[in-house]
Amino acid sequence: MSTPLEKWVEEAARMTAPARIVWCDGSDAENARLVEQMMADGTFLPLNPRTHPDCYLHRSDPSDVARTEQVTFICSRTQAAAGPTNNWMAPAEAKERIGGLFRGAMKGRTMYVVPYVMGPAASPSSKIGVEITDSAYVVASMRIMARMGNVALDRLGSSEDFVPGLHSLGDLNPQRRFIAHFPEEKLIWSIGSGYGGNALLGKKCFALRIASWMAREQGWMAEHMLILGLEDPTGHVTYMSAAFPSACGKTNLAMMVSALESSGYRVWTVGDDIAWMRIGSDGYLRAINPEAGFFGVAPGTNSKTNPNVMDALGCNSLFTNVGLTPSGEPWWEGINGTPPAGTINWRGQSMTAENGPAAHPNSRYTVPARQAACISPRWEDPEGVPISAFIFGGRRARLAPLVYESRGWQHGVYVAATMASETTAAATGAVGVTRRDPMAMLPFCGYNMAGYFGHWLAMGGKIAHPPRVFHVNWFRRGADGKFLWPGYGQNVRVLKWILERIEGKAAAVETPIGFVPAPQALELEGLDIRMQTVEELLRVEPTDWTAELDSIRDFFGKFGGDLPPALGQEHEQLQQRLNRVVIPQK
Ligand code: GTP
Ligand code: SPV
Ligand code: MN
């Protein structure tokens, strides 16, 4: 008698016709074999064994360097279930079209069966996925990003309770690339890409798109959020989760070296990208990090901005699409000065003006979370950590102040649902275009976002101690076009204000959009910043917000009658508060 997993593997093999099937156990020996093989076929280039033992450089196809949202589909039975913000394809059509591409796709290749656990192995909140892939790079990456191999098979046994994900590189042609999710079946099909969230199916496909659907069905939350613990001078740790869109600072906030460490404020990392949260028996939202590694943006990372990750990258790490120095070390823009002579770029070309930057803007490192010095002692707590604050934010050159607090849960959901940010290189397409990205979930919500907003509103009523809701913006620019706020480790000053708001200690000024820090309430000791800049950072410009409301109204309009009335009410109330302070133009 074969198990449900064996049956699915047989079915996938019949469709894709691989030359051989390898069941991955996750062992060191298996990894060593894969690494040997990838060095032999050029998939991996070894890095300097002295400075970077067991580290490798991988170059993806130049047409396959970021998530591709235009070919990402939610294949729910009805289009209404996917909603106006997702691409939708009928399940039968998807099976037909994409199935056609999978037919024979693994001819002559090895099919790897990669079982994995999302979440700490012993957590009741964890879930099992199995990815079938013909990419050895994906196998090596999944081994870092999830608990992979026998640990998952042992937990699964003969159960059918796993999320299957079928992945093939196909021919890497962007015209034949599809990332498809069948939420009713809890099935993922991805073909034509070997990069990041398109190919490591445990991450965005399972832990966000499929999991968000499950979470609504089962009364929990799957969010694009980091999880951090802020330790105060007494040693007490307060946990917070933050949702920023892709490449807007989650990893850096979660892993920061606090600028206030000498006065006893320290940041501990629980997760850097995804949070799964359930209501605990104590009435707090309890968060686990479903992942086991960090797949972080390389450019801009250096020993000043993120020393914790720089130290962690010294061994057992993969680098994708970064430059390579003549001494065999990874190099990217912002790591340290100018590239050493003889550095080659991410495509293996010499560094000339025509050949562009050394590292692709969405180049990434892949590193085991446990290697970070800042990893929280509770990062694998099976019950999860209790969340006291939600922080939302994005890149807004002008509109949003450095930080503000919402007026309560319902207003907080409105703040999150109306978030917007300038697009980044994490997804293909134009960079720097402001778009609505509710809860940083626009590309990741597996169902109709109107229903998702409704789920958020409903959760608020069920959580005895709901997190307080804040909004931050590290990216406000001055008249000279430069960032006003130093960011990175200095962001702890904002976290400290948030902590003191939770504790009822910090002073705030009420504005139409919420509460901003009172002039003296932000800890600025030791920071070289002018008071005028601080005022500029905290300013709420009512006329800018009035214009924003029009754009929000257009966005909400997409959802028609599905939009929860509470959000419409919040919108009206904000409009009224703004009307009271905006002096009518003659
Ligand atoms: P994903 O992995 O795509 O979800 O991204 P992320 O949200 O984890 O973003 P990450 O922390 O990797 O940062 C993305 C880029 O923003 C990097 O180039 C960082 O150097 C830069 N960045 C992060 N935090 C700050 C900050 O506080 N200020 C400024 N100016 N830049 C920042
Ligand atoms: C993101 O784009 O939000 C990422 C990178 O975290 S990827 O895994 O490629 O989705
Ligand atoms: Mn992300």
Contact between residue 353 and residue 399 where contact means Cβ atoms under 8 Å apart: no
DSSP code at position 393? E
Using H for helix, E for strand and C for coil, what is the string for 157-212? CCCCCCEEEEEECCCCCHHHCEEEEECCCCEEEEECCCCHHHHCCHHHHHHHHHHH
Structure tokens at 5: 């997993």
Segment 466-492 shows an average pLDDT of 97
> How many Å lie between the centroid of ligand 3 and the Cα of residue 208?
10
* 379, 450, 456, 560 from 563: Cα distances, Å: 36, 5, 12, 6
Contact between residue 335 and residue 329 where contact means Cβ atoms under 8 Å apart: no
At 583 the pLDDT is 66
Letter for the amino acid at 1? M
297 Cβ below 6 A of ligand 1: yes
At 1 the pLDDT is 80
491 Cβ below 6 A of ligand 1: yes
* Cα 401 off chain centre by: 23
Structure tokens at 161: 């309770």
Q: Which atom of ligand 1 is nearest to the CA of 273?
A: 4
> How many Å lie between the centroid of ligand 3 and the Cα of residue 258?
22
Q: What are 281-296's pLDDT values in tens digits?
A: 999 999 999 999 999 9
At 359 the pLDDT is 98
- Residue 477 predicted with pLDDT over 80: yes
- Residue 507 predicted with pLDDT over 90: yes
Which residue's alpha carbon is nearest to atom 7 within ligand 2?
197
Which residue's alpha carbon is nearest to atom 19 within ligand 1?
300
Q: What are 35-62's pLDDT values in tens digits?
A: 999 999 999 999 999 999 999 999 999 9
At 579 the pLDDT is 94
442 Cβ below 6 A of ligand 1: no
Q: What are 101-152's pLDDT values in tens digits?
A: 999 999 999 999 999 999 999 999 999 999 999 999 999 999 999 999 999 9
At 520 the pLDDT is 93
Q: Any idea which residue has 């134009």 for tokens? A: 430
> How many Å lie between the centroid of ligand 3 and the Cα of residue 211?
15
Contact between residue 321 and residue 362 where contact means Cβ atoms under 8 Å apart: yes
Q: Which residue, 289, 8, 255, 268, is CA-closest to 121?
A: 289
Choosing from 67, 177, 195 the residue with most ligand 2 atoms within 8 A of its CB, the one to mutate for a pocket test is 67
Q: Judge residue 180's burial from the number of C-beta atoms within 10 Å of its C-beta, 0-12 exposed, 13-18 middle, 19 or more buried.
A: buried
List Cβ neighbours of 82 (8 Å cut-off, separation of 6 or more): 74, 76, 88, 447, 448
Q: Any idea which residue has 């917007």 for tokens? A: 420
Contact between residue 545 and residue 578 where contact means Cβ atoms under 8 Å apart: yes
Q: Which residue, 208, 228, 209, is CA-closest to 276?
A: 208
Query: DSSP H helical segments within 219-306, as ranges?
Result: 250-254
Segment 485-490 shows an average pLDDT of 98
Query: DSSP H helical segments within 255-360, as ranges?
Result: 307-312
At 584 the pLDDT is 62
Q: Which atom of ligand 2 is nearest to the CA of 195?
A: 9
Q: Which atom of ligand 2 is nearest to the CA of 364?
A: 5
At 582 the pLDDT is 76
- Residue 585 predicted with pLDDT over 60: no
Q: Which residue, 152, 271, 167, is CA-closest to 223?
A: 271
- Whole-prediction pTM value? 0.98
Q: What are 509-520's pLDDT values in tens digits?
A: 999 999 999 989
At 519 the pLDDT is 84
Ligand 2 site: residues with CB under 6 angstroms?
Answer: 67, 196-197, 203-204, 246, 273, 295, 426
Which residue's alpha carbon is nearest to atom 28 within ligand 1?
487
Mean pLDDT taken over the chain: 97
Beta strands in 80-170 (DSSP E): 87-88, 110-118, 127-133, 147-148, 163-168
| Parallel, antiparallel or unpaired: strands 364-368 and 468-472 | unpaired
Q: Which atom of ligand 1 is nearest to the CA of 306?
A: 20
Q: How far apart are CA 306 and CA 317, in angstroms?
A: 16
Q: What are 409-442's pLDDT values in tens digits?
A: 999 999 999 999 999 999 999 999 999 999 999 9
Q: Which atom of ligand 2 is nearest to the CA of 66?
A: 9
> How many Å lie between the centroid of ligand 1 and the Cα of residue 365?
13
* Cα 378 off chain centre by: 20
Which residue's alpha carbon is nearest to atom 6 within ligand 2?
246
299 Cβ below 6 A of ligand 1: yes
Backbone angles phi, psi at 349, to 5 degrees: -100, 160
* 21, 197, 430 from 67: Cα distances, Å: 27, 6, 13
At 472 the pLDDT is 98
Quick count: other Cβ atoms within 10 Å of Cβ 176?
Answer: 16
Q: What are 322-365's pLDDT values in tens digits?
A: 999 999 999 999 999 999 999 999 999 999 999 999 999 999 99
> How many Å lie between the centroid of ligand 1 and the Cα of residue 249?
3
55 is catalytic: no
Q: Which residue, 288, 25, 289, is CA-closest to 152?
A: 25
3-state class (DSSP) for residue 315: coil
Which residue's alpha carbon is nearest to atom 4 within ligand 2?
246
- Residue 586 predicted with pLDDT over 70: no
Letter for the amino acid at 547? A
Residue 186 has, within 13 A of its CA and on its CB side, a CA count of 17
Which residue's alpha carbon is nearest to atom 10 within ligand 2?
197
Contact between residue 93 and residue 107 where contact means Cβ atoms under 8 Å apart: no
489 Cβ below 6 A of ligand 1: no
| Parallel, antiparallel or unpaired: strands 434-436 and 420-422 | antiparallel
Q: Which atom of ligand 2 is nearest to the CA of 444?
A: 3
3-state class (DSSP) for residue 52: coil
Q: How far apart are CA 161 and CA 269, in angstroms?
A: 30
Which residue's alpha carbon is nearest to atom 21 within ligand 1?
249
> How many Å lie between the centroid of ligand 1 and the Cα of residue 139?
26
Pick the catalytic residue: 205, 248, 374, 445?
248
Q: Which ligand is nearest to the CA of 443?
A: 2
> How many Å lie between the centroid of ligand 2 and the Cα of residue 243?
13
Segment 310-329 shows an average pLDDT of 98
List Cβ neighbours of 584 (8 Å cut-off, separation of 6 or more): none
> How many Å lie between the centroid of ligand 1 and the Cα of residue 250?
6
Q: How far apart are CA 146 and CA 127, in angstroms?
A: 11
Structure tokens at 549: 């409301």
CA Rg, the chain, in Å?
Answer: 23
Q: Any idea which residue has 């608020």 for tokens? A: 460
